[in-house]
Amino acid sequence: MNTSIRVTLDGSSAEVPVGTAVREVLERLRPDLAGQALGVRAGEEVLDLQRRLTQDAKLEVVTAADGDPGALYLLRHSAAHVLATAVRELWPNAGIGFGPPIEDGFYYDFDVPRPFTPEDLEAIEAKMREVVEADHPFERREVSRGEARALFADDPYKLERLEEIPEGDVISVYRDGPFLDLCRGPHLPRTGLVQHFKLLSAAGAYWRGDERRLMLQRIYGTAFFSRQSLERYLHRLEEAKRRDHRMLGKQLDLFSIQEDGGPGLIYWHPKGAMLQFLLRRFIEDELLKRGYELVYTPHLASEALFQRSGHLQAYAELMFPGMELEGEVRGYRVKPMNCPMHMLIYASQQRSYRDLPKRYAEVASVYRFERSGTLHGLLRVRSLTMDDAHIFCTPEQIEDEVLGMLDLVDHVMTTFGFEYRLALSTRPAKRIGSEDLWDAAETALRRALERRTLAYALDEGGGAFYGAKIDCKFHDAIGREWQGATIQLDFVLPERFGLAYIGPDNAPHRPAMIHRAIFGTLERFIGGLIEHFAGAFPVWLAPVQVRLLPVKEGHRAAAADLAARLRAAGFRVELDDRNETVSYRVRDGEVLKIPYILVIGEREASAGTVAVRRRGAEEKQIVMPVEAFMVQLRREVAERSRDPVQSLTAPAGRA
RNA sequence: GCUGACGUAGCUCAACUUGGCUAGAGCGGCUGAUUUGUAAUCAGCAGGUUGUGGGUUCGAGUCCCACCGUCAGCUCCA
C-alpha cells in the first residue's frame, strides 16, 4: 500500500505522506495564500484546511469571494454553526436539528420550548457577534460511532441522524468554542471569518420535513464576505417586493381575491381578464397550427366518472366535496382535472391507428381543494385554469409528440423572455405499469430532450405513480421556484377507460396517453408574467396599449376621433380627458405602466400628428404622423416585441 | 393542515411604553374653481359598527377566547 500521495494545488504538485492535512499542503505549495485560504476545491467537493488527504488529489485554493459558490458554502455553513452556538448560549437546552447552507443563505432548526420572536432574533444576532469576535477555530475530529453516541447522548436529533450514517462512512464532528455538532463539514478555519450576516426570519418546520413529526423552530439567515454584497442582497429583497404580483395586481387593477367569495378563488378584473384573453388566443392559435383540436367539457361530473378514473381513490383529498342533487341517485363533483372528460371523448367511438395521434386541447378551469396554508396569490389557487391537452398516440409516436411539446414550451417561454429549467422525473418506488412500459417511456422522454440538446435536471424516482414526466420550472420575484409547463406520460388512464385503437393488424391496441400544459395554469403563468415584467407588459400583452391625452377641452373631439380610429384598427386605447393638467395625467399613465401615452394639442390636431411618449424611452416626446405611429404599433404587436422600440423616431424633417 | 405574526376608510399607513373625550393623515373618490404641452393645480365635501362573534372592564382599535382571512415558513403541488 502506498504511503505517499501526489497532490496538485493550483498547478504545482508535491509528494506528501498519506494523511497530510490540506493546511500543510497549502503551506508548502502556496505559502503566499496560506493566510487567505478558506478551503480547497477538489472537483465538485469543497474541503476545509483540516481535512487529511488519503489519496491523490487535484486541488484549487478557495478564498473569500461573494461570487464563488464554494466559498459561500463554507461561509454559510459556518454561519449556521455560529447561529447554533449563539442559540445554545441563550437556550442551553435547545435541541438541535439540521443547519445547512441553502441557495441564498442558511438555516438551522431548533427544538425550543417556545417559538422565536423578532426580539429573540435580535438577541441571537448580538450573541452571534460575540461568537464571531471570540474567533473560535472550527475544529474537525473524526470519531467512532460509539464515541459519537456518547458525545450526543443528550441530542436526540443528532442521535437519530447518527444511526442513519452507513456503516463504514467517516463520522466527523466540528467544534467551535462551546458548540459541538455532528457534521460532515466543511467549515471555515475560524468563526471570526463570518463577518457580514443577518438573520431574516423564523418559522416552524417539521423535523425531517415530516408533518407527522414534531415541529422545530427554524431560523433563516444569510451571510456574505463583504458588507456591500450583504447590503446589495437585502436591497434586492426589498426591490423584489415591489414586483410582487399581489401588490401589482391591486395597483394595476388586474385581479382580486374576495374574502366574501372564498380563499384561493380569483376574480379577474377587466385588465387582468384581457391578459388572460390574450394568452388564451395566443396559445390556442399555436395549438391549432400544431394539429391540436379544441374541445369543451363540463366542469361537473358524476362521481362515477371520478371513480372510474381513480381520482376518488388517489386524489380525493384534493377534490372539493361531492354535492347531492335533488332527484339524482349519484353525487356530483367539480372536476380537479380534465383528463377523465377527454378520455370519454376518445372512447366515444372506435379509433384506428390512422387517426393517431389525437390531440385534444381545452383551456378550462378545474377546482382543487388546496390546503389553506399553501394558497399564495395567483401562484397557488383553488380554481385554476389550465391550458390542458391530452394526446392519444401509439407508443412509437411518444417521442415525436414530446419533441413537439418541448418545441412549443421553448417557443412560448422565449416569446415571453422567461428563463426556465427542465427536469425529467423517472419511475418512483411505488408505481404501476410494467418495467417495459417504464423503460420505453423514460427513453422516449430522455431521447426527446437529447434530440433538442436541452439541458435538464434528473429527478430520479420523482415521477408520478402513473407515469414519468418532464416539468418546467420558473422563479418568482423573490426567488421561489414554481412549476409551470408539465408533460406527463400516463399508463393508468387508458387502462382504466379501456381505450383502444385498431392497429394495422386489425387487432385492438392500447394507446399511450400524454397529459400536458404549456403555461401550466393561466393563474400561475400570469402571476409569473406580472413579476417578470414588473407590471410593464410588452405592447402586444398590455391590457391598455395607448392612452390619449387631449391638452385642453378644445382637443377632446380630436382625441376621441383618434381613439375611435385606433380602436377600429384593433388597438386597446383609453382616452384620459379628465380635468387635470397634462403633467398629472402623464404621471398617472406612467404609474399604470401604459406603453404609449399620446398627447393631442393644437399642433397635433391641426397637423394630423401625435406626440408620442413611449414607456421607458429616453426621449420624452416624439412627434410623428398618426399613420406612422399606427404602422409602428402594428409591427410591434405582430412581432410580440419585448423591448422598447428603438426605431421609434420622428420622420426626417420633423418640425 | 401545522407553527408564528398580522387584520383600522377604496389603497398605503397613524392613534404613545401602560385600555380613557367625537379613531387621524396622504393618495384615491365626489363637487367647485382653474383650461392646463410631458411624473402630482388649488379649495371644499363625503368616506369607518377598527375582519366576525363572544368575553373582561365604569370604559376596548388596544386585554382574553373562538372563528374567518392574509403573510412567512413547513408539508403538498399547476
Residue A422: pLDDT over 50: yes
pLDDT digits (tens, 9 = 90+) for A533-582: 999 999 999 999 999 999 999 999 999 999 999 999 999 999 999 999 99
Separation between the CA of A370 and the C1’ of B76 (whole angstroms): 8
What gap in Å lies between CA A301 and CA A309, rounded to an integer?
12
Architecture of the structural domain at A4-62: Roll (3.10)
**Could you say which nucleotides of strand B lie within 7 A of any protein CB atom?**
1-5, 11-12, 33-41, 68-78
Q: List strand residue ranges (DSSP E) for A163-285, in order.
A: 171-176, 179-182, 196-206, 215-224, 255-257, 266-268
Query: pLDDT category, A644, cuts 50, 70, 90?
Result: low
- As a CATH number, domain A255-532 is 3.30.930.10
* Residue A603, nucleotide of least CA–C1' distance: B37
Report residue A331 as a C-alpha cell.
353525487
The residue ranges of every structural domain in chain A are 4-62, 69-240, 255-532, 546-639
A264 touches strand B (CB under 7 A): yes
pLDDT category of residue A650 using cuts at 50, 70 and 90: very low
Distance CA A185, CA A74 (A): 8
DSSP of A525-547, one letter per residue? HHHHHHHHHTT---TTT-SS-EE
Q: What pLDDT shows up at residue A655?
A: 30
pLDDT value of position A440: 84
**Rounded distance between C-alpha atoms, residue A237 and residue A221, angstroms:** 13
**Average pLDDT score over residue span A7-28:** 88
Strand partners, A596: A546, A614
Q: Is A572 strand, coil or helix?
A: coil
pLDDT of residue A2: 67
Q: What percent of chain A has pLDDT over 90?
A: 67
CA of A7 to C1' of B64 (A): 69
Q: Which residues contact A349 (CB under 8 A, 6 or more apart)?
A: none
The C1' atom of B18 and the CA atom of A117 lie apart, in whole Å, by 21
- Condensed to tens digits (0 to 9), the pLDDT of residues A255-314 reads 999 988 899 999 999 999 999 999 999 999 999 999 999 999 999 999 999 999 988 888
Closest nucleotide to the alpha carbon of A384, via C1' = B78
Asked whether the CA dihedral A67, A68, A69, A73 is positive or negative, the reply is negative
| Whole-number pLDDT of residue A479 | 76
pLDDT band, residue A652 (cuts 50/70/90): very low
Judged against a pLDDT cut of 70, whether residue A649 lies above it is answered with no
Task: For strand B, list residues 405-444 of chain A whose Cβ lies within 7 Å of it.
Answer: none
Kind of pairing between the strands at A57-62 and A179-182: unpaired
What integer best gives the mean pLDDT of chain A? 91
How large is the average pLDDT for residues A106-129?
A: 90
User: pLDDT at position A545, please?
Assistant: 97
Integer Cα distance of A19 and A132 in angstroms: 30
d(CA A65, CA A33): 14
Average pLDDT over residues A228-234: 91
DSSP H helical segments within A110-192, as ranges? 118-134, 145-151, 156-164
Residues 230-249 on chain A lying near strand B, CB distance under 7 A: 246
**pLDDT (tens digit per residue) in A475-525:** 887 778 888 999 999 888 998 999 999 999 999 999 999 999 999 999 999
Is residue A431 within 8 A of residue A383, CB to CB? The reply is no
Give buried/exposed letters for A106-124 (b at 16+ CB in 10 A, else e).
bbbbbbeeeebeeebbeeb
Per residue in A344-368, pLDDT tens? 999 999 999 999 999 999 999 999 9
The cell for A578 is: 379628465
CATH 3.40.50.800 is held by the domain A546-639:
yes
Q: Which CATH class is domain A69-240?
A: alpha beta
Rg (CA), chain A: 31
Residue type, A83: L
DSSP line for A66-79? TT-HHHHHHHHHHH
The closest nt to A265, taking CA to C1', is B69
Helix, strand, coil shares of chain A, percent, nearest 5, are 40, 30, 35
Going by C-alpha positions, the residue among A599, A614, A605, A549 that lies closest to residue A576 is: A549
pLDDT value at position A1? 56
